[in-house]
Each structure stands twice: as C-alpha cells, then as structure tokens.
Amino acid sequence: MRRARTPVPTRRPTVSDVARLAKVSVGTVSHVLTRSRYVRPRTILRVERAIKRLQYRPNRVAQSLIRRRTHTIGMLLPNLINPSHVDLLHAVEETLEAEGYAVLFGNSQNSPHREGRYLEAFRDRGVDGVITAIAMDADPSELRKMAGEMPLVMVNRQVPGWDGDCVLCDIATGMRQAVDHLVEVGHRQIAFLNGDTRIQTARFRQAAFEAALRRHRLRPAAVSAGVFSVESGYSQALELLGVGVQATAICAANDVMALGVLEALKKLGIHVPEGLSVVGFNDILYARLASPSLTTVHVPYSEMGTKAARLILERLVTRGKSTQQVTVMPQLIVRHSTAQAPGASRPARL
Amino acid sequence: MRRARTPVPTRRPTVSDVARLAKVSVGTVSHVLTRSRYVRPRTILRVERAIKRLQYRPNRVAQSLIRRRTHTIGMLLPNLINPSHVDLLHAVEETLEAEGYAVLFGNSQNSPHREGRYLEAFRDRGVDGVITAIAMDADPSELRKMAGEMPLVMVNRQVPGWDGDCVLCDIATGMRQAVDHLVEVGHRQIAFLNGDTRIQTARFRQAAFEAALRRHRLRPAAVSAGVFSVESGYSQALELLGVGVQATAICAANDVMALGVLEALKKLGIHVPEGLSVVGFNDILYARLASPSLTTVHVPYSEMGTKAARLILERLVTRGKSTQQVTVMPQLIVRHSTAQAPGASRPARL
DNA sequence: CTGAAAGCGCTAACAG
DNA sequence: CTGTTAGCGCTTTCAG
C-alpha cells in the first residue's frame, strides 16, 4: 500500500485566488495589501480573512518585476579569512535585516574578475544596491560603470578618484598612534611587515607607517611584503630576523600577520615584548587572546558596516543625490606585546 | 554652465529592443539566448550582434517569474562569532558560485523567531533552496513546513525526526577520540564546560563526552554550562576551579570556549598542560595559534559546506526524490595543551 | 469606493 | 526555421 504523498499539487495561492475567495477584484486585493488607496473597512476585512484562510503571501519576484525593487542588497567582500571582514558582513546583515532587506553575499577572493562577475550577478538579479570592499587591482572604470546602474557604496577600501558614497577608516591616524607609542617607549628601529601590496590597504598602511616615522625623523629599519596571512607574517618575520635586520619592534600591516610574527618569535626564542615589541592593526578578537596579548590599532568594523548599510538605505530614497564620504576613527589599544625598547632609558615625557 | 549628467534616462534594453534591432521576433531572441530550439546560424549572428551593440543582459527577475527558478540559494547560520560557521559559509558560497548560483545570507542569531522570518524572506524571494544550521529551540514543525515549500538541507545541526537531506559530523566519534587521548595519558578527573544547552550541539557534545567517559568506567569530574563564547569559557573555568573541583583536565564544548579557559588558567597561574590539560572542539584557525597551541577535535566544516551545497544542487534536479544523510568524520589533533596527568605514571599501552 | 485591463520582461506553446 | 500570443503574479492607471 502506498501512502498518499503530495496531498495536492498545492500551487501557491495568488492574488486572484484571494480575490475569488473574497469576492473582490484582484486590484482591490492588491490595494489592501499595499494600502495604496482607500478601501472600505468591510472589504478589507473580507480580503484579510481570505488571505489568512489561504495563507497567502505575495510573490516578491512578481512584485520586484513591476516595482523594480527587490529589497535585496549585494555585499561583496575580498575574503572571509580576515575576521574584520566578517564583522563588516555581520553589521551590514543586521542593519539591513531590520529594515526588511536581505543580503546577497559574494566573496571576490580579491580577484577583479570574480568581483566583476559578482557585480553583474547582483545587478542581473536586480539588487537595490551593493556594498563592496573592492578586490585588489579592481578596475575603477568597471566599478564606475556598475555604479551607474545601481547604488554602490565602497567600504573599507577605496578606488582612486571615486566620488561616490564610501565609508573608510583613517588609517594614517591609526598608524601614527601606533608609531608614536613605539617611539615614546624608546623604539628607534622599527620594521614593517606588509601584506600584498597590490591591495590598496597594504599600500596605504605602509605609506602611513613611513609618514608617521618621518615625523620623528626616523626611517624604517626594514620593510617587507607578502600576503595578509598568518603564514606570511610568520615567514616574513623569520626572514627578516634571519638576515640580521636590527629592529627592536615590528609593525605588522594587520593582526592576522601579527599573530604569525608572534609565532615566529616564539620559535626563535625571542621574548615579546622584552626582546622585541610587536604591533598589529585591526584588533580582531584573537588579538586580545594571543600571548602576549597584542597591542594593536582598533578599527571599528562593525560601525563601518552599520554606516555603509545606512548609507545605501539613504541612497535608495535620495536616488543619486549628493554622495557622502564617511570616515571613522581607529584607536590604538596598548596591550602586552609592546614595551620599552631593550636598552632604552625611559624618555622624558613630551 | 551645467554639465549634461544623466546622458539619457537610458532604460535597460529588453528583448524587444534586441528583436527590433535584429529584425526578428522576441521569441527568436529568447530562443537564441536559451538555445531552446534551432535557429538559423545567420539569424543567431544577427541577434548576437544586436545583443552586443545594446549590451543587453536578460532581466533575471523576469526570467525567475516565469521559470520559477532564481538561481539563488539561501544560507542561514546561527551566528558568525564561531569561525567554523564562517568556514561553512565560505565553502557553500564557493561551490554555489561556481555553478552560477548566488547566496542569500542570513544570520538567525540563534533565535527561532529570526530563523522563521528568514525562511519566509527566502521563500518569498523565491530561492531555489536553503541550507541551514538551525537555531536553538528551532521549531521542527515550522522547519518541516518550509521544507514542503522548498528544498532544505540541514547542516551541522539536526532537527529531531528529520528525514530530509542533511550533512552532519559524527560528534560521538570525535569526543571519544578526545576522551580516549586524555585517559590514555593518565587523566581520570575530567571536567566538561558546555555552551548553551538549549543548542542541540551542546547537548550532543555533552552526551558524547559522558558516553566516552563511561567506556572507561569514569564519570565527569564536573559539568557546567554557559554560552559558546570566550567570556563564558573564561568565567566557567574560574568558577569551576574556584569551588575547588578536582580535575586534571578540562574538555570545552568548542574552541572559542577553550580559548577562554586558557585565559582563565593563565590568570590563575596554572600552567597548561603541566598543571592542567585542556581540549577543545572544532579546530578553528586560532586553536593552533593559542599558547599553548590547543589540542582539539578537527571538524571538516569546509567539507561539510561543500557537501551541503552539492546536496542542494542535486535536489534541484531530483525534485523531492530520495534524501541523503551525509556524515563526515572529525579527527583529534593533539597539540600542546594536553599532557600526562600530574602525578600519573605513564600507563601501559592497551 | 471598486472593477477591468494594461503591462513589468521574459518564455513557451501554437501556428505557420 | 520563425513569428504571434498567452501568460508568470503582481501593480496601477483608467473608468465607472
């Protein structure tokens, strides 16, 4: 004996089903749904009862086709390895969900090609806008072209010459705080370990580092580059110290790398911070948990995500009006991976 | 003088624009686009040229309305704090993108209410299916109802009595490996620190822990519960040791908590692993970077994500056919947070 | 106050 | 081999 599966080919109810049951026209059903014109209370009631009985819910695909709004926003990130990007996603999702928007998520993996594919996929699916932290080597003209077709807000990373919406962090200030801190506790020989310099953030951070040093009439003890990963931080540190670079402190371009540096120093038997100071950038959750806990520059990614989401929401009402460039401030968090430079007497306070 | 912005209210081209330019009917345009019937090569060429000239791309919203396929999959996660969930998302996104699917991402924050809202939002937007790691206290009947409306695959977390698609990890085996390891190096007093026991995973892990102990005719030195966070691991450890529980090893229900335990022990001046052994669960990236590096049970989240994605893809073709329950195997990774129990002589090998 | 009807952009019969 | 046409499920005039 076969059980009767699939009770009825139970098609989802549509407006006309509701209309028929409520004995009104489809137009009226639509109007009570969207309250787009006055409907007699009695009629409303009839319609609402029909809706309830049929468990009717409007088909948003059909609505989107005609309203040209999907209530969906695309969010494009260059990776998920960096916990900071996850914070961005988290904040964006939370803010948008509260306003009835859903988020289409894409990972460009830092490839401009994938990024382009995603922007098209988003656009073709009719997203109302996109928030993106661009890939390295992103094509500015491509980006501008897409921005012509839908609201686009840049977050965390910037494309040169971009005058649209964006929310960025003042890296220069953050890096200055880090360098000032190091110099203040007596460091003069500071090395910089960078990520992939094809990524704008990497170039900006290095430039900011060098500028901050110059203010103290100092020059980098060394500068090297790799990629933004634990392994790269690890091997760059090994390499640097292997070739005998004289440095009393290492500045890593981000926390993930800094954790790698810490690993390397552990392996080399160099104590942090007594033997060498280390500072990171971003303040990911695990920076605090490292041992020693990592001194780093806190970047308010959640705040940036929230602001980016609000910006895109605004833009959806003020179609193409005046754009906004928002900048948020980073903040140095001194923990236990930095200390007075070996052999340096405590300098007089400024 | 005002610059001429907005060159033309440049409406996006549609099939009829292409048809007009190529001097064919809209039907033909559609058919060359979808190769759904034979079209003379010359005609194809004309159409393709028109498409290129107009930079035409089909409106997927319109396509979706008629084809009842959006090429979009919903992915629902209970949080992003646990890096393992991020691995899941990463793998799902990667697998799906390669097949031309986009992913709508939702964070239920472990709230069944939010979960329900998201499932409806997904369904109303016409997703072709959803992959979900359910929230705690999820409503099985609600889930089953939604599964009636669209393909649903459960990942990582399971709803009781669910006979649909799912991909799970064999927690019992993983926990047994961890406990066996601890017992083998002489531990007899092992405490278990759990997360929120309203979460199924928490209950399963605790049950698995107790079962594994029983095989050695042992009972937990203590069991406590909190939430799956660093802070909770920290405070539970403090609490446990504060009330003088005799334990030579602590088993944390996941790595994030285990990191908190490590912090607490550091604060108490208890050396790990000499004074106390600690083991985690999941093998997040930062488990390796903790100091001491964390002994933990590796759970192949990326693999689970990939399998879940493949499963949903299969289900899209085999509409409602035989379901699959996939189980993946965890693997204990012994690092430096576990060692012989204090005072225990190395036991003879079994 | 409400109904009828014309689409949104596309696909898929149905005719030739 | 290709054109015409009837919708997908909804919104929104335009008439009453």
What is the rounded average pLDDT of the residues B285-301? 96
Mean pLDDT by 10 residues, chain A (350 residues): 43 91 93 91 93 95 96 97 97 97 97 95 96 89 91 91 92 97 96 95 96 97 96 96 92 97 95 96 95 96 98 87 92 96 59
Please check whether strand D approaches the CB of A69 to within 7 Å: no
Q: Which two tokens stand for residue A144?
A: 């501008």
In angstroms, the CA A224 to CA A239 distance is 9
Amino acid identity of B173? Answer: T
Q: Closest Cα partner for B325 from B192, B158, B112?
A: B158
In angstroms, the CA B132 to CA B77 distance is 6
Strands A331-333 vs A295-298: parallel, antiparallel or unpaired: antiparallel
Asked if residue B341 has pLDDT above 50, the reply is yes
Phi, psi of B338 (to 5 degrees): -130, 145
Judged by CB atoms within 8 Å, which residues 6-35 of B form the interface with A? 12
Categorize the per-residue pLDDT at B1 as very low, low, confident or very high, splitting at 50, 70 and 90: very low
Strands A277-282 vs A222-225: parallel, antiparallel or unpaired: unpaired
What residues of chain B lie within 8 A of the CB of A80, using their CB? 86, 89-90
In angstroms, the CA A222 to CA A214 distance is 14
Judged by CB atoms within 8 Å, which residues 261-290 of B form the interface with A? 262-263, 266, 285-286, 289-290
Please check whether strand C approaches the CB of A39 to within 7 Å: yes
What residues of chain B lie within 8 A of the CB of A107, using their CB? 90, 93-94, 97
Rounded, the Å distance between the CA of A127 and C1' of D11 is 19
User: Taking CB atoms and an 8 Å limit, are A60 and B94 in contact across chains?
Assistant: no
pLDDT given at position A346 = 53
Q: Report the nucleotide nearest the CA of residue B40, measured to C1'.
A: D1
Judged by CB atoms within 8 Å, which residues 93-152 of B form the interface with A? 93-94, 97, 102-107, 114, 118, 120-126, 149
Rounded, the Å distance between the CA of B26 and C1' of C3 is 32
What is the rounded average pLDDT of the residues B136-142? 86
What is the rounded average pLDDT of the residues B132-157? 91
Beta-carbon contacts of residue B68 (< 8 Å; ≥ 6 apart): B126
pLDDT given at position B160 = 83
pLDDT given at position A9 = 52
Nucleotides of C under 7 A from a protein CB: 1-5, 7-13
Instruction: Convert the pLDDT of each residue in B80-92 to its tens digit.
Output: 999 999 999 999 9
Please check whether strand C approaches the CB of B172 to within 7 Å: no
In angstroms, the CA A148 to CA B8 distance is 12
Please check whether strand D approaches the CB of B65 to within 7 Å: yes
In angstroms, the CA B204 to CA B209 distance is 8
Between the alpha carbon of residue A211 and those of residues A197, A208, A283, A331, the distances in Å are 17, 5, 22, 18
Categorize the per-residue pLDDT at B11 as very low, low, confident or very high, splitting at 50, 70 and 90: confident
Mutation choice for B interface testing from A63, A68, A79, A80 by most B CBs within 10 A: A80
pLDDT given at position B9 = 53
Please check whether strand D approaches the CB of A34 to within 7 Å: yes
User: Taking CB atoms and an 8 Å limit, are A121 and B102 in contact across chains?
Assistant: yes
Nucleotide D5's nearest residue (CA vs C1') is B27
What is the rounded average pLDDT of the residues B183-194? 96
Q: Closest Cα partner for A217 from A171, A194, A183?
A: A183
Between the alpha carbon of residue B329 and those of residues B161, B177, B282, B303, the distances in Å are 22, 11, 12, 10
pLDDT given at position B138 = 85
Judged by CB atoms within 8 Å, which residues 155-214 of B form the interface with A? none
Distant-in-sequence contacts of A264-268, Cβ < 8 A, 24+ apart: A264/A233, A264/A234, A264/A235, A264/A237, A264/A238, A265/A237, A266/B291, A267/A238, A268/A238, A268/A241
Whole-prediction pTM: 0.93
Rounded, the Å distance between the CA of A45 and C1' of D14 is 26
pLDDT given at position B5 = 38
Asked if residue B345 has pLDDT above 70, the reply is no
Please check whether strand C approaches the CB of B327 to within 7 Å: no
Nearest to A93 among B70, B97, B107 (CB): B107
Q: Closest Cα partner for B253 from B332, B174, B194?
A: B194
Evaluate whether B338 touches B279 at the Cβ level (below 8 Å). yes
Nucleotide C9's nearest residue (CA vs C1') is B62
In angstroms, the CA A157 to CA A155 distance is 5
From residues 51-80 of A, list those within 7 angstroms of strand C by Cβ.
62, 65-66
Instruction: Convert the pLDDT of each residue in A222-232 to its tens digit.
Output: 999 999 999 99
Q: Report the nucleotide nearest the CA of residue A25, measured to C1'.
A: C3
In angstroms, the CA A247 to CA A244 distance is 9
Please check whether strand C approaches the CB of A23 to within 7 Å: yes
Rounded, the Å distance between the CA of B242 and C1' of C9 is 68
Please check whether strand C approaches the CB of B40 to within 7 Å: no
Weakest mean pLDDT among A165-169, B265-269, B314-318? B314-318
Neighbour-count burial of B158, counting CB atoms closer than 10 A to its CB (0-12 exposed, 13-18 middle, 19+ buried): middle
Instruction: Convert the pLDDT of each residue in B172-183 to its tens digit.
Output: 999 999 999 999
User: Taking CB atoms and an 8 Å limit, are A102 and B107 in contact across chains?
Assistant: no
